[in-house]
Structure 1
Amino acid sequence: MAAASGSFDVEAATRAYLDTLQGPARAQSDAYFEGGYWLILWGTLVGILADWLLLRFRLAAKFRDIGERLSNRRWVVTGVTALLYTLVATIIVLPWTIYTGFFREKQYGLLDQAFGAWGGEQLMNLGIELLIAPLLVIAIYALIRRAPRSWWLWATGVIGAFMMVGMVLGPVFIAPLFNDYTEMQPGPLRDRIEAVAAKYDIPAEHIYVFDQSKQHKRISANVSGLGPTIRISLNDNLLERTSEPEILAVMGHEMGHYKLNHVWWIVGIYLAIFAAGLFIASRVAPMLIARHGERWGVRDIADPASLPILAICFSAWMFLMTPATNSLVRIAESKADAFGLEAAQEPDGFAKVAMRLSEYRKIEPGPLEEVLFFDHPSGATRVRMAMEWKAKHVKDPQVVVPEEGYLDSE
């Protein structure tokens, strides 16, 4: 399109959107998101406390002893220890999980499930963890025994393999446990989504709608899977609560993640951070065991009873790396935003979606606040990006003043 005239004021257009969130709604949005800053710290401390209790009362050693009574095979002992560790640690942190995942979400109107339905999903999550965690721990401790100095590097590769398997199988076998996925009905909207996908050679044979409204009102979409499991999915909230330009803006963003290979970018980021954390754990854990191992009943780092020690080291590392992981992921999200604006060419739809996300994201953080705590660009950043795109690519752009109450639409 022809370049826009200089009469369009990007800041005025941005402010027209931002000013639609005022009063109690903005205060609640800010309070919810800012409270999450503390949850990062307290959540880490709760996890570390749970692991410390397992050591202090020699529960991890008892889990190992149970495994040794059942079998003299090391992998069986490790698997039993990991299974019991996962189960008991989950029970210890259950009050925190209920508060953060249920009561706090209810307090801010962000969860529609009754406690029974929510609890049922937590049990399904636990069941999946009880299947996967022992396999991963068995593999890691086998590496610890065979490569005492370099196991952290090989373990990073194992974690990467588990992540890849999860990306392939998750959309087909895991996600449908929690939501029903149905093919999107043919029609003009599907045609437009397919047209955008075709423009960038993005597979669109399967476009699914999933019923996330039974859990909450948040809008969501994704391009998930690898190889034969690739599919485009959007939740029913996106269809029911937003307009066509907004839907196309969201789908353009998600297609950007696929086209820009962000799944590999993000996996690579996390594996690099995991590798550093495992390296630190491989050096710190033996020192802790040398000093406190007898009291905890932990023999050495190859003893599966050392699992809580490794978990404490790793949890502390991931907490310290939160600003880095947030920033690196946010960069990818920003690039997907830019791609989505170009793909969908719906800047006002994109701005409206950014404003809707203020239901659970602070809309205008300070610069340092955004760097430290935001794993997506803030609403203000996204709206401004959309208006800058509009100024450059839309002929004779106009400042849009959104209709009153559009953020409350269901």
Structure 2
Amino acid sequence: MFRKMGVYAVLAYVLYGLFFYWYLFYFANTKLPFEYQGTQADPATFLNGREIMLSEDYSKIKNLLFFLSTPFEWIFYFLILLFGFSKVFKKWAESSSKYRFLQIAIYLIWLSFFSFLATFPFNYISYSMSKRYHISTQTFPSWMKDELIGFWINYGTLLIIVPILYWLMKKSKKRWWLYSWLLSIPFTIFVMFLQPVVIDPLYNDFSPLKNKKLETEILAMANKAHIPANHVYEVDMAKKTNALNAYVTGIGSNARIVLWDTTLNRLSDKQILFIMAHEMCHYVEKHIYYGIAIYLVFSLLGLYLTYRIMNWTVTRWGKELKIPDVKDIRSVPLFFLVLSILTFAASPFTNLISRYEETRADKYAIQMTKDPESAISSFQILTRSGLSQVNPPLLVKIFRYDHPSMLDRISMLEEYEIKHRN
């Protein structure tokens, strides 16, 4: 029976992959609608023929990797259970230590290690493709260092979460999901508070903006918007990428507005001021805090569904998956599997909310700067630097885009420009 389950799972994954290959490379139409041709949103007006071809090719490959990598994670966890590797990891852990916490730590290092190996090909292909298309400038040793940092951060996080989670499962078979959610609230806020000052500096060097004239203009804009900001930070990303970015991160006193140095090198001061006004909107309209609230609502629903699905799965398929009880540490891959599927299923809704907030930020920025020319040109440069699709396929937009497409963003700015001019 378990062999059939494995074969069916792999076959389903292959069919799924073939569908998305056909959809992205043959079916999806990314051509601009007729009414937008010749406008400032038309790639033909700001990209040359080679850049348009490269952006289409790169986007197709990148999107295919996305749609293949997430279900591959599900297949990995399913096969780990089906072929008894989770049981083996537990056996190795129990033979290595008599202390429960150390047993969990050893179990998790084995699971994390094999997960890292299984997903490494996807990560490496993504890295090598970004190098081939001149998006990434990062050397392999530097990229590998970031991968290993990510591995240990992920392992450290699991080492905090999993022992508490399975302790709660033993203490309360029917309410562990609720207690886990309640504990996740302070943990989520604490991690977001630490992110800018502890986690982010592990990957890159941050420093106050060196261009003091620009910083003065940005802080004046922040003061106008009643934002208590004293610094704008820049981060050295040129050694890793040619892409551009700026963002708001952290909460409370650790909240930061961050500019990549690639953005500083490629955009004019007026364009940067538009980008900064966009980021300030996230602070003014409290998008970060709304984001936390939405995340907590989805995580509550997700943990409850995980509780129900895990119980049903173990009751029906526990023998085949080598899981005698939900609270047994061998069920960790099942927990990750269910949570990953639910997260993927929720992504259209979370992306929709994020796109709404980003549209709000674009409108706020253009109202503050009243400079549609700089705004449009900044989006055109962002498109060129990242080889982004101006008009992505529908499924890509639904599952991948937490920002509006460049077609939506530039056309909105053009409408403002026409209205403002009149």
TM over 0.5: yes
Q: Which one of the candidate residues 380, 383, 390 is aligned to 2:410?
A: 383
Find out whether 1:235 has 2:265 as its counterpart.
Answer: no
Task: State the Cα deviation string for residues 225-268 of structure 1 (Å, max 9, x = none).
Answer: 22221222211111101111111111111111111111122223
Deviation, structure 1 residue 180: 1.2
Distance in 1 separating the partners of 2:88 and 2:41: 60
1:212 match: secondary structure: coil
Deviation at 1:158, TM superposition (A): 3.2
2:142 corresponds to = 117
Q: How does 1:169-184 map to 2 (within 5 A)?
A: 169-184=194-209
**Percent identity between the two aligned chains:** 27
State the Cα deviation string for residues 20-72 of structure 1 (Å, max 9, x = none): 23522123223333434433331122101221232133222222233434555
SS of residue in 2 equivalent to 1:322: helix
- Which residue in 2 is equivalent to 1:77? 103
In structure 2, C-alpha distance between the alignment counterparts of 1:271 and 1:33, rounded to whole Å: 32
In 1, the alpha carbon distance for the partners of 2:110 and 2:190 equals 24
1:288 to 313, 316, 332: 313
Does residue 1:299 correspond to 2:319, yes or no? no
User: Which of 143, 153, 175 does residue 150 from structure 1 map onto?
Assistant: 175
Say yes or no: does 1:59 pair with 2:82: no
2:293 aligned with 1:277: no
Paired with 1:45 and 1:301, the residues of 2 have a C-alpha distance of 23
- Displacement of 1:198 in angstroms is 0.5
Q: Secondary structure at the match of 1:65?
A: helix
* Aligned CA distance change for structure 1 residues 16 and 75 (closer, same or farther; 3 Å): closer
Q: Structure 1 residue 356 and structure 2 residue 381: aligned?
A: yes
Distance change (3 Å), C-alpha of 1:241 and 1:185: same
Matched-pair contact (CA < 8 Å) for 1:189–1:244: yes
For 2:238, what is the secondary structure of its paired residue? helix
Contact 2:245 2:259 in 1 (8 A): yes
Q: CA–CA distance in 1 between the matches of 2:305 and 2:211?
A: 53
Alignment match, 2:118 = 92
SS of 2:244's equivalent in the other structure is coil
**Which residue identity does 1:197 align to in structure 2?**
A
User: Counterpart of 1:305 in 2: which secondary structure?
Assistant: helix
My pick for the range that moved more, 228-237 or 179-188, is: 179-188
Q: Alpha carbons of 1:11 and 1:46: their partners in 2 closer, same or farther (altered >3 Å)?
A: closer
Q: How far does residue 74 in structure 1 lie from its aligned partner after superposition?
A: 4.4
Q: In the TM superposition, what whole-angstrom CA distance separates every residue of 1:372-400 from its partner, at most 9, and x where no partner exists?
A: 5422111111112222333344xx47xxx
Q: Does 1:191 find its partner at 2:216? A: yes
Corresponding pairs, count: 386
**Separation (CA, whole Å) in 1 of partners of 2:105 and 2:56:** 43
Report the residue type matching 1:390 in the other structure: E
| Residues 1:40 and 2:69 aligned together | no
Kept in 2: contact 1:181–1:210 (CA 8 A): yes
Matched residue, 1:267? 292
Q: Which SS does the other structure have where 2:248 is aligned?
A: strand
User: Structure 1 residues 104, 163: closer, same or farther in 2, change over 3 A?
Assistant: farther
Tell me how far apart the structure 2 counterparts of residues 269 and 45 of structure 1 sit (CA, whole Å).
Answer: 24
Amino acid in the other structure paired with 1:224: T
CA offsets per residue over residues 169-198 of structure 1, 9 Å max, x none?
A: 111111111111111125321111011110
Aligned counterparts of 1:39 and 1:325: Cα–Cα separation in 2:
21
Q: Structure 2 CA distance, aligned partners of 1:163 and 1:151?
A: 18
Per-residue CA deviation, residues 320-347 of structure 1 (Å, 9 max, x unaligned), is 2232222121111111111222233332
Unmatched tracts of structure 2, length 5 or more = 1-35
Instruction: Please state how far the C-alpha of 1:294 moved relative to its aligned partner.
Output: 3.2
Label 1:23 to 1:81 Cα distance change in 2 as closer, same or farther (>3 A). Answer: same
Whole-angstrom CA distance in 2 between matches of 1:168 and 1:356: 32
Letter in 2 for 1:92: A
Conserved? CA contact 1:269–1:328, under 8 Å:
no
Q: CA deviation at 1:105?
A: 1.5
Match of 2:158 among 126, 129, 133: 133
Q: The residue matched to 2:234 in structure 1 has which SS? A: strand
Using a 3 Å threshold, how does the CA distance of structure 1 residues 113 and 11 change in structure 2: closer, same or farther? closer
Partner of 2:5: none
Alignment RMSD: 2.5
- Structure 2 counterpart SS, 1:214: coil
Q: Pick closer, same or farther for the CA change 1:18–1:340 going to 2, 3 Å.
A: farther
Query: Residue 205 of structure 1 contacts residue 231 of structure 1 at CA under 8 Å; is this kept in 2?
Result: no
SS at 1:309's partner residue? helix
- Give the 3 Å change call, closer, same or farther, for CA 97–159 of structure 1 in structure 2: farther
**Cα distance, 1:73 vs. partner?**
5.1
TM-score calculated relative to the size of structure 2: 0.84
